[in-house]
Amino acid sequence: MVIAIVIGTFLVTTGALLHFVALRECARRINPELHPVRCFLFSVQVIILSHLFVAAIFAIAFHIGETSLDIGSLQKANNLDQPVSFMDRFYFSLVNYTTLGRGDLFPTKHLRLLTAMEAMLGFLVITGSGSFLLKIIFGQNQNLRG
């Protein structure tokens, strides 16, 4: 359990920091007063890429946690014996990160802790991304650059 807590804390910190850097760099490169639509679309692309990257990091952690650290596994709900691919892990990570929680894959043992921590991070940074986009829409770029 301690290993899962340490890994989860590292992943949450890393994911939050990566997303912060992505938003900060995005804010430095846009000027919604001059090009609101272009700035909005560029920001959406940066945000989506940032979220995909963080979800991929968690998918890698799920893979390592399952194959090397033996802290749990991901299993398919409809076929427990069928192996889980990396694409399955990435899909699970995205579903979990967005707090959608489909239920077709489920974690076991201490891997459940990592999934809970990912969902908390996802909820936090997706909410922050929405706030960021609203500031662009309403032309409050001065507040973005801080």
DSSP string, 70-124: -S--EEESS-TTSPPPHHHHHHHHHHHHTT---SSEEE-TTHHHHHHHHHHHHHH
| Residue in the structure block whose two tokens are 């662009």 | 136
Total structural domains within the chain: 1
What's the rounded Cα separation, in Å, for the pair 71 and 110?
5
Instruction: Identify the pLDDT of residue 33.
Output: 85
Q: Give the residues of the chain that fall short of pLDDT 70.
A: 140-146
pLDDT at position 124 is 96
Residue 8 DSSP symbol: H
Assessment of whether the complete model's pTM goes beyond 0.85? yes
105 - beta bridge partners? 76
Q: What's the CATH number where 28 sits?
A: 1.10.287.70
Token reading at 25: 């760099």
Q: Report DSSP state, residue 34.
A: T
In the numeric block, which tokens belong to residue 15?
Answer: 């994911």
Question: Which residues form the domain of 24?
Answer: 2-145
Q: Quote the tokens at residue 61.
A: 């952690």
Q: What is the pLDDT of residue 145?
A: 55
CA distance 48 to 9: 23
Tell me the C-alpha distance between 123 and 28, whole Å: 24
Beta-bridged to residue 140, according to DSSP, are none
pLDDT of residue 140: 65
